[in-house]
Structure formats: structure tokens, C-alpha cells
A and B are shown apart, each in its own frame.
Chain A
Amino acid sequence: MAEKTTIVEKEAIRYDGLFSVKDLYKLIDDWVNEKGYMPVESFIEETVEKEGKVITVKLEPFKKLTDYAKAVIKIDIMISDCKEVEVKKEGKTQKLNKGNVLIEIKSLLETDYEHRWEMKPWLYVLRTIFEKYIYTPFLSGFKGAIREDTDHLKDQIKAFLNLYKL
């Protein structure tokens, strides 16, 4: 099995109030494409309940850094009690959503995702030595880049949601 190292532990962004679901999703989608990640949407659910819509989205965008290492960012979006409201802003009527948002972001570094080093036991041992003594500077570079990407995404989402508070 490919080895998965958690780079950024699950961190949550919570928001309650007015926002646009469509724009929030577009922001994340644009960020994923801009940063060169493969936009994998592993689970999407939208249900209509009495209190409003419940939207659950699980995204798992990944980026192949090399033939050996892959960056994976797990983004779980949970929106509940989501209702459509009309808001007047600067004389114009805008259609927005009102509800609770919970976004959890976790990032991982997956090594040997092609399972090339686990075909034989001696290769597995060699891989451990390779990772520990030869590939370490590259891996720490990748870890730094993934951490940076994750923080950037979190900041973007927080800034986006904060705009609606103004």
C-alpha cells in the first residue's frame, strides 16, 4: 500500500450567516484548477429538508509531484439549513444563501502511489532506506509546499466568507 503521511491535520472552518453556495464552490474549484490539482469530487449530496437544503461535498483533489510522491487535499464541505434569500445591497437585489457552513480540510503526502516499491520484500526495505536517507530533502520540500497550499486555500475560504460579514 502507498504510504500516506498527514501533513495538515483536519482543521475546521465554521460559518453561519449569508453567503453564496455557488460562489463558495466556484472559489474552491478555481483554486484547485489554478494550483494544478486534479479536481476529484468523490461525494456530492444535496437533499431538501424542512429546515432548508443540506449539501455535503467531499473533494479529494490530488497533484502528482513526481512519479513517487503525490499531494492530496481532502476537503469536506457540509452546509445545513441552507435557504435562498434576497438581499438588497447598494440598491441592487442579490440572491444569496443563508445557512451553516462547516469546511474541514486535511492534507496528505502519498508516497509510492504507483506501488512500485512493494512488489518484493527487499524492495520495501530499500524503499524505507531510500526515503530516510536519500529522498528526505525532497520529501520535506513537498511537505512544505503542501502545507503552504493548504494554508492558502484555508485563507482564501476564510477571506471569502468574511466578505459577507461586511
Chain B
Amino acid sequence: MPTVHIKHKGVFDLSEILQGIIGGLEKDSFKVHYPKHKYKVPSPKGGEHEIKIYGERKINEYVKFRIDFFIRVFDFKEVEMLKEGKKVMMNTGRIAVEISGSMTLDFENRFGGNKSLQALQDFYHKHIIHRDIGDVWEDDLMLKIVNLGKLIREKCQQEALT
């Protein structure tokens, strides 16, 4: 599964980006987890954020999708800006978002017993659900990642491309 990288330097709203990611995942029925948020101020240029978010969704009893976000923000500063005549708080700095996805088959480990069960699973994957894996679920997950990437670009206010 290819990884999507989005980078932006300039003005953005970090909380809106995070809300966008969470909203996008929840809209698609993903359960959202927040395993990491690190913040430090290493230099006068601004702070650094390191955030990990992932969403999990059971597609059926056998297949589970996971989409991972790794967000890094450098030279992070809060600035006050005028937007449509109103004062709003925005952020400046550099932001890099990495989106990757994975698909877990047999997440309940039903075929995890002995060798004959594993051989049966092999047969099941290769000959029964082979098309579903490659043409349905993989493509579906890829499209979800692409759409989330577009959403982040919008939230990063990459005006030229959205």
C-alpha cells in the first residue's frame, strides 16, 4: 500500500487539521486512537509537535482496515490573523503528514491453530477471496487514504491545489 506524504510551509490551523483527520475517520466509521502527542520547544524558531493518530475499522468479520497518520510540525508559532474582517488565531510553521494504510485479514485469528488450518487459510486467500482482497478491499482502502489526503490538503489551505 503506497504511503501519501503531504508537506506544507506557511500558515495553517493545526487544530483544524487534527479535527479534519478525526472527523474524516469518524465519518467513515473508523474508531480513532491517539497513541502519541509530543510537544517541545527546541529553539526560538518555534515549537515542535509529533502526533500519531490511527483509525481502525472492521469491514467484516474477517477484514480490518487501519489508517495511520504521522504528523510532524516544526517552527510552530501561534499568530493572530485577519480573516474575512475577523481576528482569528492561526499557526505558522512547517507541517509534514504521512498517511499509510494496512489491511489485516483474519484479525480474530480463526485460522491460527494448526498447520492444516493455515493451509486452509492459504487456499481461502488464494482461491476464494483473492479478487476481494486485490480488487475490492485494497482499492477501497487506497481510495480512503487518497480522500483523507485531499481533506488534509484542504485543511492545510493548500489553496492552489484544492
Q: State whether these chains interact.
A: yes
B-contacting residues of A (Cβ < 8 Å)? 21-22, 25, 38-48, 53, 55, 57, 60, 64, 67, 79, 82, 97, 114
| Binding site secondary structure of chain B | mixed
Q: Is the CB of B160 within 8 A of A97?
A: yes
Give complex CA distance A22, B159 in Å. Answer: 8
The verdict on A44 contacting B158 (CB below 8 Å), with A60-B2, A64-B134, A67-B134 known, is yes
Partner of B156, one of A39, A41, A46: A46
The verdict on A55 contacting B146 (CB below 8 Å), with A47-B9, A48-B10 known, is no
Residues of A with C-beta under 8 A to B153: 44
| Binding site secondary structure of chain A | strand
With A25-B161, A42-B2, A45-B6 given, name 13 new contacts (CB 8 A): A22-B160, A25-B160, A41-B4, A43-B5, A43-B6, A44-B4, A45-B5, A46-B8, A46-B156, A47-B7, A48-B11, A64-B135, A97-B160
Residues of B with C-beta under 8 A to A67: 134
Partner of B160, one of A38, A40, A82: A82
The verdict on A38 contacting B161 (CB below 8 Å), with A46-B7, A46-B156 known, is no
Most A C-beta atoms less than 10 A away, residue of B9, B139, B143: B9
Residues of A with C-beta under 8 A to B6: 43-45
Q: Is the CB of B4 within 8 A of A38?
A: no
Residues of B with C-beta under 8 A to A22: 160-162
Q: Is B142 on the interface with A (CB-CB < 8 A)?
A: yes
Q: Is the CB of A38 within 8 A of B10?
A: no
Q: Is the CB of B10 within 8 A of A47?
A: yes
Smallest Cβ-Cβ distance to A56: which chain B residue: B7
Number of interface residues of B (CB under 8 A): 25
The verdict on A40 contacting B146 (CB below 8 Å), with A47-B9, A64-B135, A67-B134 known, is yes
Q: Is the CB of B146 within 8 A of A39?
A: yes
A-contacting residues of B (Cβ < 8 Å)? 2-11, 94, 134-135, 139, 142-143, 146, 149-150, 153, 156, 158, 160-162
Partner of B8, one of A21, A40, A47, A57: A47
Q: Is the CB of B142 within 8 A of A38?
A: yes
Q: Is the CB of A46 within 8 A of B10?
A: yes
The verdict on A42 contacting B134 (CB below 8 Å), with A21-B160, A21-B161, A55-B160 known, is no
Give complex CA distance A82, B162 in Å. Answer: 15
Residues of B with C-beta under 8 A to A47: 7-10, 94
Residues of B with C-beta under 8 A to A41: 4, 146, 149-150
Residues of B with C-beta under 8 A to A48: 9-11
Smallest Cβ-Cβ distance to A39: which chain B residue: B146
